[in-house]
Amino acid sequence: MATYLLTWNPEDSSVEEVAAEWKRLRAGRKPRPADWSCGVNKSIQPGSRVFLHRQRREPRGLVAAGITVSGSYAGRHWDLEKRRQGKKAIYIDWIIDSAVPGFGDDDDATLEPFAAHLIPSGPIHDLVSWSNMQGSGTSVAPEAAAELERRWALHLGAAATGIDHSAPRSAKEGRIREHLAKSRYRESLLRKAKIAKALAGLSFMLSLDIYINETSRHADVILPGPSPLEDVHFDIPFPQFSYRNHARYSAPVFAKAAEQPEEWQTLLHLCDIVQGKAHAPLAGPQHSPDAIIDQALRAGPYGLTLAQVQAADGGIDLGALQPRIPEVLRTPSGRIELAPPSLLADLAHVEAALDAPTDRMLLIGRRDTRSGNSWMHNLPVLAKGPERCTLLVHPEDAQRLGLREGGTARLQSGGAALLAPVRISADMQIGVVSLPHGWGHDLPGSQLHEAALRPGVNMNALLDDRLRDPLSGNAVLSGVVVEISAADALVSAE
């Protein structure tokens, strides 16, 4: 991770915006990005480490640190005269994760900077030109950065981490947990920044989408597909859950515009472009979904054709389900293996976890009938009605945690936190709460007008992408330990 120094001259600029975000973090809320000039450095990447260095006026030294969440970009110059001349300044957006005592106070006498520029020897002295610093955005050599990080942590010590070693044990443990939570929050910022950096580093990104959403906002080009009401539909996955065999084809409800290619034609043409055949004509009907469906029906056990299914109003009932076992089994025993040894062996861990006393809450996801997928949040006919991105809580848990119906709960896991409206439900298991997946439509660059009116919160922000299920290797997406508290007063204060 690259490290840079951002400079601050209190004579001509203010840290009011950054200090406000530091106060948010110390209050247990998620800080927001702040922009800062990085001089002439146009190569800073998301996920870089930055230290804010106070200059010119005493007390001088490092006063804050954080992580960049953007790369270098040009914007309106901070100097009014240069702005009038049409000149631009280079900026980065960063999120603060630590600061010295007194940072953000009006009184300089309370500020306790880390005077790294006064260290007499070693890599910080030898590899950083403190006396000849040209401006903000100065790169720090890796050896100096490692030593700077170590010395920064030592300087912060009890004051910035909140660990008072003279405090009673219970109070000290609480402060240590708070410090660890902030460390985990910084780790979550790094993971998000890595994703942003990876996307920013792509040579080219193309999306096929009818929306500019949280993913397609990163695309260089977005090719709009037809509306779902302008496309054909043939049930393939859901008949597996039916209690009778059937075949059903749904023709488009509306005719698409003449110049709008079918989505399958666009995909096949992109394949042609990748193979160097950019001028090839669009694929014809012999490659269409209709042609594939017709071939599959003809080869199936009922000998149907697509024309027969299309002609049947409401589809064709093919009768009761037919046995497929043991024909479809591929197990060594030729039986349905309901109790593999690996699963049975792991039950001891499950039983121990269930029996262990705990006051921790577990967070699980859910799907709402009217918003099974995130794109449905942008359809007015489905998005209307009551708030659906709510936290379901059992009445006994709500009483114990001080939560009320319609109030706001604060969920925290590691250093990440969310605020969600509360719905009390006896359908929930005691000790378990639930948030729906697929929400959080408030990211910059996305253009989901209807969804943005009630963006909800993104449950994934509370997940740790390093956790894996020990047997399957799958990511842990449910049953996540969270801390929950009432946040009504905090929301009112905002």
Bridge partners, 222 (sequence order): 207
Shared domain check, 182 and 119: yes
Q: Name residue 93's beta-bridge partners.
A: 35
Kindly state whether residues 151 and 126 are assigned to the same domain.
yes
What are the two backbone dihedrals, phi and then psi, of residue 40, each rounded to the nearest 5 degrees? -110, 10
Tell me: pLDDT of 165 over 60.
no
Q: Mark which of 147, 173, 200 sits at the end of a domain.
A: 200
Query: Using CA of residue 485, residue 30, residue 360, residue 167, what is the dihedral sign?
Result: negative
Q: For 360-420, give the secondary structure using H, E and C.
A: CEEEECCCCHHHCCHHHHHCHHHHCCCCCCCEEECHHHHHHHCCCCCCEEEEEECCEEEEE
Q: What is the pLDDT of residue 83?
A: 80
Q: Find the largest Cα–Cα distance for the chain.
A: 88
452 shares a domain with 409: yes
409-466 per-position pLDDT tens digit: 989 887 678 889 999 999 999 999 999 988 888 877 788 888 888 889 988 888 887 7
Examine the domain organization and report whether 229 and 193 are in the same domain: no
Q: Are residues 219 and 194 in the same domain?
A: no
Phi and psi (nearest 5°) for 63?
-120, -20
What stretch of H or E contains 62?
A: strand 61-68
**Is 180 within the bounds of a domain?**
yes
pLDDT tens figures, 367-406: 888 887 888 898 888 888 888 999 999 999 999 999 999 9
Q: Can you give the pLDDT at residue 166? A: 40
Q: Could you tell me how many residues make up the chain?
A: 494
The gap from C-alpha 217 to its chain's centroid, in whole angstroms, comes to 14
Tens digits of per-residue pLDDT, 24-77? 887 767 778 899 999 889 999 888 889 999 988 889 899 999 989 888 988 888
Lowest model confidence (mean pLDDT) among 186-200, 299-313, 344-358, 383-397:
186-200
Range 284-290, long-range pairs (CB < 8 A, 24+ positions): 288/262, 288/264, 289/232, 289/234, 289/264, 290/232
Q: Helices in 137-210 by DSSP H: which ranges?
A: 142-161, 169-200
Tell me the backbone φ, ψ of residue 165, rounded to 5 degrees.
Answer: -70, -10
End-to-end CA distance of the chain: 34
80 found inside a domain: yes
User: Are 213 and 183 in the same domain?
Assistant: no
Q: How confident is the model at residue 237 (pLDDT cuts 50, 70, 90)?
A: confident
- 472 lies in some domain: yes
Q: Which secondary-structure segment (H or E) carries 96?
A: strand 88-99
Can you read off the two tokens belonging to residue 390? 């709510």
Asked whether the beta carbons of 57 and 41 are under 8 A apart, the reply is: no
Q: Which of 160, 179, 200 is the last residue of a domain?
A: 200
Q: Is residue 330 part of a domain?
A: no
Kindly state whether residues 191 and 72 are assigned to the same domain: yes
Whether 89 and 160 map to the same domain: the answer is yes
Q: List the CATH number of the domain containing 401.
A: 2.40.40.20
The pLDDT tens digits of the residues spanning 98-116 come to: 899 889 887 888 898 998 8
Number of structural domains (the chain) is 3
From CA 52, how far away is CA 34, in angstroms rounded?
12
Give the global pTM: 0.59
SS3 for 404-429 is: CCCCEEEEEECCEEEEEEEEECCCCC
* Residue 195 near residue 210 (C-beta atoms within 8 A): no
376 & 403 share domain: yes
Inside any domain, residue 332: no
d(CA 403, CA 410): 10
Nearest to 415 by CA among 192, 188, 196: 188
Residues 6+ apart with CB under 8 A from 204: 220, 221
126 and 182 part of one domain? yes
pLDDT at residue 172 is higher than 50: no
Co-location of 126 and 53 in the same domain = yes
Domain assignment present for 331: no
Q: Are 249 and 234 in contact (CB under 8 A)?
A: yes
Same-domain check for residues 85 and 172:
yes
Q: H or E element: which one contains 125?
A: helix 123-127
Taking residues 82-111, what's their average pLDDT? 87
My answer on whether omega of the bond before 101 falls inside 30° of 0, hence cis, is no
Q: Could you give the C-alpha distances from 155 to 22, 52, 62, 177, in angstroms and in order? A: 18, 15, 10, 19
CA separation (Å) from 450 to 228, 374, 384, 445?
Answer: 18, 12, 9, 15
Q: Under a CB-based contact definition with an 8 Å cutoff, are residues 53 and 5 in contact?
A: yes
Residue 240 lies in a domain: yes
For residue 19 the two structure tokens come to: 């200090």
Residue range of the domain that includes 96: 3-200
Is 71 within a domain?
Answer: yes
CB 432 within 8 Å of CB 447: no
Domain boundary among 200, 225, 243: 200
Residue type at position 9: N
Cβ-based burial of 247 (10 A; exposed 0-12, middle 13-18, buried ≥19): buried
| Contact status, residue 8 vs residue 103, Cβ threshold 8 Å | no
